[in-house]
Structure 1
Amino acid sequence: MSEIEREAPAILSEADRVVPDWPAPPAIRAVATTRRMPGSSAPPFDAFNLGARCGDDPAAVAANRVALVEALQLPSRPCWLRQVHGVDVFDADLGGPGEEGAADAAVSRSGRSVLAILTADCLPILFCSADGAAFAAAHAGWRGLAAGVVEATIARLGVPPAELLVWLGPAIGARSYEVGEEVHAAFVDADAGAAEAFAATRPGHWHCDLYALARRRLAAAGVGKVYGGGFDTYADARFYSYRRDRQTGRFATLIWRA
């Protein structure tokens, strides 16, 4: 038995992972990993980096992904997307794309898939139907949110918005996320009310609340049951943060059906 296999049970510690606080159906399982899980990645990716495109040793990433499946007793290997800050949605029931499919969200209705979103400040969003028959995961940085990844995911999932439950996972907090004109304009030019998610800091710069922007887009789409939020990956050492560290790993937010 390898060192990873011997250490894997420790990954199940509540202190080393985040379990969504939402009233999802009993069959729905979800978790956000942290860098504190025992893994194979060396600094600055230590220790449980799951991102294959951030400069880490590919062998270490592969070992961490194997440990993830074993520790969480996942029904299959996760559907790893090649995220590009867009709005394309992958139907995981048609076959997992591995690192080959460029998409920023995935949906499943068969229950055989494990959906995963990799982040290090961007907002991971989980969706499930009230009966647990359908679920989805989306990668929502500011570009994806402004472009409509939330709306695209809801449309592809095919569940009436009023019947959806949504959880907002660990992302950079507003106090840590200063942005410039490009980000402010991307939202406010299309929706004047989005200005409420920005707080001026200095000329041409604002603190940006990704959670508030996501809730606004979800509400406009007809989704009223939204949970989670309140994290700050920049300030919370449990999580990878690109803005804090630049060269860093990625943690995963996953959803599947038991």
Structure 2
Amino acid sequence: MISVSSLPGHYLLPDWQPPVTIHSFCTTRFGGVSKPPFDQMNLGLNAGDEPQAVLKNRAILTRQLSSQPTWLKQVHGTEVSTPILRDALPLEPIVADAIVSDRPGEVLAILTADCMPVLFTTVAGDVIAAAHAGWKGLSGGVLENTVQAMLSLKPSLTPEAILVWMGPAIGPTAFEVGSDVLDAFSNQSESVLCDAFIPIPGRRGKYLASLEVLAADRLRSLGILSIARSGLCTYTDPQRFYSYRREGVTGRFASLIWIAP
């Protein structure tokens, strides 16, 4: 088991208060071998980088972990990978945008480059989850599905006993969207939409959107009260983070969580 104090300084520790059995961190661009425009620590195999460089980066990352991460094939959807599903198809790629576990030592990983990574743990530290929450998955219910999967793993669990951390993502000063994105969240309250979508002056049908506001409202509607926000913007921090919106061709960083074995 690693010690948090032993992590490289360029890794980010979530600003939340999980139980001592829970480990989590977020990688940045630093510490890997990929060449521009994927420099340095690209962990995404489908971003266009040399596969051998990505595999080397993943090997570097794994040295800080209790086991190989469980990587997902993310498709901007709402499917959740559960332990039962993974056991049934152990050799198949995991096509999902969220993952839950109650198994100590199993490392859950989410790759992002503007979408929001969301980590979950119970206050008892016995069930964890990670979700990829871009606007499509968020509006489609990926967070709701993730929480439901956690509750299914532990029938006695209540939403009030779940802690959440929302990681680095494109921020509300940079995430320009159209009316189609606003319409996708029409089931949320008018007050939330007013906070989450700020009209851009002189540009009809264009807004600056906040994934954090939208996600926090959905989590609160489920009964989750402990929600920590990183407040970090991938688009405006090119030194530390990849941003697909900013660069087009770019790498992916990872947000990871596991229960100490």
TM over 0.5, shorter chain:
yes
Instruction: Check conservation: 1:76, 1:112, Cα contact below 8 A.
Output: yes
Aligned to 2:251: 249
- Once the two structures are superposed, the pairs formed by residues 136-175 of structure 1 within 5 Å of their partners are 136-158=129-151, 159-175=157-173
CA contact (8 A) 1:120 1:171 kept: yes
Which residue does 2:233 correspond to in 1?
232
Distance 1:183 1:97, change over 3 A: farther
Question: 1:44 and 1:55 mapped to 2: Cα distance?
Answer: 10
Superposed CA deviations along residues 63-109 of structure 1, whole A, max 9, x for unmatched, are 11011011x1x111001000011110001464496881110000000
State the partner residue of 1:118.
Answer: 111
Q: How has the CA–CA distance of structure 1 residues 98 and 28 changed in structure 2, closer, same or farther, with 3 Å as cutoff? A: farther
95, 102, 127: which is aligned to 1:102?
A: 95
1:192 Cα deviation after fit? 2.9
The 8 Å contact of residues 41 and 253 in structure 2, kept in 1 or not, is answered as: yes
Secondary structure of the equivalent of 1:256? strand
User: 1:34-89 deviations in whole A, cap 9, x for unaligned?
Assistant: 0012x12111001000001010101011111011011x1x1110010000111100
Shift of 1:190: 5.0
Is 1:34 matched up with 2:28?
A: yes
| 2:218 alignment partner in structure 1 | 217
Checking the alignment, whether the CA contact within 8 Å between 2:212 and 2:229 is kept in structure 1 is no
C-alpha RMSD of matched pairs (Å) = 1.6
Instruction: Please state whether the residue corresponding to 1:127 is helix, strand or coil.
Output: strand
2:68 to 64, 77, 90: 77
Higher mean C-alpha deviation, range 196-205 or range 117-126: 196-205
Residue 208 of structure 1 aligns with which residue? 209
What is aligned with 1:4? Answer: none
- Show the counterpart of 1:12: 7
Q: Is the 8 A contact 2:115 2:133 kept in 1?
A: yes
**2:69 alignment partner AA:** P
After TM superposition, give the deviation of residue 17 of structure 1 in Å: 1.3
3-state secondary structure, aligned to 1:154: helix
* Secondary structure, counterpart of 2:173 in structure 1: helix
User: Separation in 2 of the partners of 1:189 and 1:110?
Assistant: 35
SS of structure 2 residue aligned to 1:188: coil
Residue 40 (structure 2) aligned to one of 47, 57, 69: 47
* 1:80–1:99 Cα contact (<8 Å) kept: no
SS at the partner of 2:108?
Answer: strand
Q: CA deviation at 1:194?
A: 3.2
What is the number of residues matched between the two proteins?
244
The answer on whether the counterparts of 1:34 and 1:239 sit within 8 Å (CA) in structure 2 is yes
- 1: distance between equivalents of 2:40 and 2:131? 24
| Unaligned 5+ runs, structure 2 | 1-5, 152-156
TM score, norm. by length of structure 2? 0.90
Identity %: 47
Q: 2 CA distance for matches of 1:115 and 1:106?
A: 7
Work out the CA distance in 1 between the residues paired with 2:130 and 2:177: 25
Is 1:89–2:84 an aligned residue pair?
no
**Unmatched segments (≥5 aa) in structure 1:** 1-10
* 8 Å contact kept, 1:44–1:247: yes
Cα offset, 1:123, TM superposition: 0.3
Report the AA paired with residue 258 of structure 2. W
- How far apart, in 1, do the equivalents of 2:91 and 2:58 lie? 12
* Alignment partners' CA distance in 1, 2:133 and 2:224: 16
User: TM-score, structure 1 length as denominator?
Assistant: 0.91
Structure 1 Cα separation of the partners of residues 81 and 108 of structure 2? 10
The answer on 1:63 being equivalent to 2:56 is yes
Q: Say whether residues 1:199 and 2:198 are aligned partners.
A: yes
- Counterpart CA distance in 1 for 2:220 and 2:68 is 32
